[in-house]
Amino acid sequence: MKKNFNKNKEMYISNRYNAEGLLVRKECFHLMSAYKLHNPNNEPAYELYYDFDTHTSPQIFKYCIDGLLHRENGPALIEWDKQGNIIKEEYYLNGSKVDELAILIKSSQDNNL
């Protein structure tokens, strides 16, 4: 397991690797929010990978702000099957589940500011 902090020491990042050195899980926590899943950089706060013999494929990505599922320009929760096909996409704003249209409207409003 590799642990490190971002340059401002605001986020704690924990990476887990398999025996071959391939990333199998990544978690980002905001230190000022009691270690809640948090990544404000439009990157997943939680990444889980299927661990194969010679490669690693994504299984689940979660985009979170202060521990709540949140993403303004795409799904906040994405799941893949072992063949790499997306099997689930869910959209959230501040922890509340919304439909894709709400995300498109929010993104459009932000771009018009």
Tens digits of per-residue pLDDT, 19-33? 888 888 888 877 655
Spatial distance between the Cα atoms of 107 and 84, rounded to a whole number of angstroms: 27
What is the radius of gyration, based on Cα positions, of the chain? 15
Confidence of residue 53 (pLDDT cuts 50, 70, 90): very low
SS3 state at 14? strand
Q: State the average pLDDT over residues 13-18.
A: 83
Confidence of residue 56 (pLDDT cuts 50, 70, 90): low
* Statement: residue 54 has pLDDT above 80: no
Which residues share a beta bridge with 110? none
At residue 21, φ and ψ (nearest 5 deg) are 85, 15
Q: List the domain boundaries for the chain.
A: 2-111
Report the predicted TM-score, pTM, of the whole model to 2 decimal places: 0.75
